Amino acid sequence: MKIKVIGAGLAGCEAAWQIANRGIDVELYEMKPLKHSPAHKSDDFAELVCSNSLRADGLANAVGLIKEEMRRFNSIIMKCADEHKVPAGGALAVDRNGFSAAVTKAVKSHPKITIINEEVDKINTDEYTIIAAGPLASEALTQEIQRITGNDYLHFFDAAAPIVSYESIDMTKAFKAARYGKGGADYINCPMTKEEYLHFWNELVKAETAELHDGVENPNVFEGCMPIEVMARRGEDTMRFGPLKPVGLTNPNDNSRPYAVVQLRQDDAAHSMFNIVGFQTHLKWGEQKRVFGLIPGLENAEFVRYGVMHRNTYLNSPKLLTDTYRMRKYPKLYFAGQITGVEGYIESASSGLVAGICAADSLLGRPEMVLSAKTAMGSLAKYISNESITNFQPMNVNFGIFEDLGVKIKDKKEKAQRYCERSFEEICSIKNENAYIL
């Protein structure tokens, strides 16, 4: 008995781990290091574009809840993330290199997982297979997926923020603090006066953008990861109500309230690199250095990585997939990751977890594990498989897609607590009823 998993990103590694832990042999196909997608630089598995890709970690929101659900299913992604955490207030930020190396080591050393380094261009729909190649699948695999699905693809464009070296930040102008003092002084803050902000905004809106690799001039930008220059063009104050909002911060140098604030987040365990929060961009590299150098404290910043923009592709999943990420047409074929329309790294990993368990269930002759929308993982699976959706768009996990609590609760903390309690009750029940779920 074996299951093929295509792609060693977060979703693929999680799927392979869950399958292997149920005693089933896994063939994990990964085209790196032979070939890299535009967004990938490392040869390791489960590569992240920034330290805070896994986002919030508390149980006050759905993305924190989904992490805890995954921990309760022995998630390898969460285990490695917890082991490589770096300071970031209430967020689960990780040392990206340490995290990816740990996932790679764990997956490669599992006795039930065989790594096959080659590009996949053919899918046998009669073999148990999980396609977790991500939204940047190779052209050959993309064409094969399109052949199998028989549906037109939908596209959106995603952007990554630049990273600067810590030693190049002018700390006589910047200061360390978290909003409202939460989580300690985990962020570097670059305060702006009104004059500095308006000058920066004017230069940003007229800055020159890079040509997209596929020649599309007017990309459809996913709202959850909007390039900073696109945000700026929506209005003079749009950024001040977004990533540059000054609320909750006071400049200790003169005890003033800044007009706007650019925040930087630690990107590695060594405290040597910082990500410019919310500055996803596809400006030309020279323009990034020029315009972002107008930010107080970043005048002489050394860019360890410039912001980049790349094309992501996702399926029309409501027409193709069930709530276990199985294809309706081909019952031995599953999908996982952002290609399904779950937006975000942690959501992708959770889909791999569910798809892996369900594929293993099916191969072993058991009923698939179906999580309800009372859970974070289940609510995502229900969302991407909801056939009543006519204009399907990628979705981050959020309480809005959960099953309603049935009672009105005004207090946000109490409401979040009820969501969490209900989720844990269901997961505990499922695990008690199914001893094979580790």
> Residue length, the chain?
438
Tokens of 300: 């002489």
Mean pLDDT in the chain?
Answer: 89
Average pLDDT in the 342-359 region?
A: 95
**pLDDT at 307 (0 to 100):** 87
Top-confidence range, 130-139, 163-172, 351-360: 351-360
The share of the chain scoring above pLDDT 90, in percent, equals 65
Grade residue 346 by pLDDT with cuts at 50, 70 and 90.
very high
Q: Closest by alpha carbon to 283, among 246, 222, 233? A: 233
Average pLDDT in the 12-16 region?
A: 98
Neighbours of 395 (CB within 10 A): 19
* Rg of the chain, C-alpha, whole Å: 22
Indicate whether 136 pLDDT > 80: no
pLDDT tens digits, one per residue of 235-255 = 999 999 999 999 999 999 888
**pLDDT at 217 (0 to 100):** 41
**pLDDT at 207 (0 to 100):** 95
pLDDT tens digits, one per residue of 50-67 = 766 688 778 888 999 999
pLDDT tens digits, one per residue of 166-175 = 989 999 999 9
Per mean pLDDT, which range of 120-129, 150-159, 317-326, 398-407 is the poorest? 150-159
**pLDDT at 216 (0 to 100):** 40
Average pLDDT in the 1-9 region?
A: 96
Alpha carbon distance 1, 360 (integer Å): 10
Q: What residue spans define the domains of the chain?
A: 2-153+315-433, 160-311
**pLDDT at 272 (0 to 100):** 81
Q: Judge: domain 160-311, CATH 2.40.30.
A: yes
**pLDDT at 90 (0 to 100):** 79
**pLDDT at 198 (0 to 100):** 97
Grade residue 347 by pLDDT with cuts at 50, 70 and 90.
very high
Tokens of 220: 């459809």
Q: Closest by alpha carbon to 163, among 14, 274, 79? A: 274
Neighbours of 342 (CB within 10 A): 30
258 preceded by cis ω (within 30°)?
no
**26, β-bridge pairs:** 3, 113
Alpha carbon distance 438, 14 (integer Å): 13
Indicate whether 219 pLDDT > 60: no
More confident residue, 399 or 107: 107
Alpha carbon distance 301, 295 (integer Å): 10
**pLDDT at 392 (0 to 100):** 85
Tokens of 162: 């630049």
**pLDDT at 436 (0 to 100):** 61
Say if strands 303-305 and 163-165 run parallel, antiparallel, or are unpaired. Answer: antiparallel
Do residues 135 and 338 lie in contact, with contact meaning Cβ atoms separated by under 8 Å?
Answer: yes
Alpha carbon distance 187, 413 (integer Å): 24
Average pLDDT in the 124-147 region?
A: 90
Grade residue 349 by pLDDT with cuts at 50, 70 and 90.
very high
Grade residue 269 by pLDDT with cuts at 50, 70 and 90.
confident
Average pLDDT in the 142-147 region?
A: 90
Cα 437–52–264 angle (5° rounding)? Answer: 165
**266, β-bridge pairs:** 274
Q: Kindly report the backbone phi and psi dihedral angles of residue 181, in degrees, each rounded to the nearest multiple of 5, phi listed first.
A: 75, 15
Q: Kindly report the backbone phi and psi dihedral angles of residue 225, in degrees, each rounded to the nearest multiple of 5, phi listed first.
A: -140, 55
Grade residue 420 by pLDDT with cuts at 50, 70 and 90.
very high
Q: Kindly report the backbone phi and psi dihedral angles of residue 328, in degrees, each rounded to the nearest multiple of 5, phi listed first.
A: -65, -35
Indicate whether 154 pLDDT > 80: no
Average pLDDT in the 345-366 region?
A: 96
Average pLDDT in the 6-12 region?
A: 96
Alpha carbon distance 175, 250 (integer Å): 9
**What is 2-153+315-433's CATH topology?**
FAD/NAD(P)-binding domain (3.50.50)
Indicate whether 133 pLDDT > 90: no
Grade residue 232 by pLDDT with cuts at 50, 70 and 90.
very high
**190, β-bridge pairs:** 262
Indicate whether 268 pLDDT > 80: no
Alpha carbon distance 249, 363 (integer Å): 54
The share of the chain scoring above pLDDT 70, in percent, equals 91
Q: Which residue has the tokens 């290091």?
A: 33
**pLDDT at 215 (0 to 100):** 39
Tokens of 242: 């977004």
Tokens of 434: 């199914």
SS3 per-residue string spanning the chain: CEEEEECCCHHHHHHHHHHHCCCCEEEEECCCCCCCCCCCCCCCCCCCCCCCCCCECCCCCHHHHHHHHHHCCCCHHHHHHHHCEECCCCECEECHHHHHHHHHHHHHHCCCEEEECCCCCCCCCCCCEEECCCCCCCHHHHHHHHHHHCCCCEEEEEEECCEEEHHHCCCCCCEECCHHHCCCCCEEEEEECHHHHHHHHHHHHCCCECCCCCCCCCCCECHHHCCHHHHHCCCCCCHHHCCCCCCCCCECCCCECCCEEEEEEECCCCCCEEEECCCCCCECHHHHHHHHCCCCCCCCCCEEECCEEEEEEECCHHHHECCCCEECCCCCEEECCHHHCECCHHHHHHHHHHHHHHHHHHHCCCCCCCCCCCCHHHHHHHHHCCCCCCCCCCECCCHHHCCCCCCCCCCHHHHHHHHHHHHHHHHHHHHHHCCCCC
More confident residue, 393 or 322: 322
Say if strands 129-131 and 333-335 run parallel, antiparallel, or are unpaired. Answer: parallel
